[in-house]
Amino acid sequence: MSCRQAREYLEELIMGDLNTSLAEIVMQHLAVCPDCQKAYDEQRRLIELLRTFYRRSKEQKTSVEAVPPL
């Protein structure tokens, strides 16, 4: 798998949307490619941040309009 392909699957991998065999291939690439591993970490952090933000805004019942579109 090329770096370009791996990057395309990163988000789905983090969200758990990737099927098992494909996830394994991407994980194998991450294990040998520090660049993609770094990209994976950064993307995961961003997604976790967004999840926390949305969870918090839901709990506080802030209006949806206050949340900027993704």
Which positions touch Zn ion (CB under 5 A)?
Answer: 3, 33, 36
Q: Which helix (H) or strand (E) holds 14?
A: helix 3-15
Amino acid at 68: P
Of the two residues 23 and 33, which places its CB atom closer to Zn ion in the complex? 33
Of residues 38, 37, 46, 58, the one with CA closest to residue 15: 46
Nearest CB to Zn ion, comparing residues 8 and 48:
8
DSSP secondary structure letter of residue 60: T
Cβ 11 to Zn ion, closest distance in Å? 15
Nearer to Zn ion, 13 or 36 (CB): 36
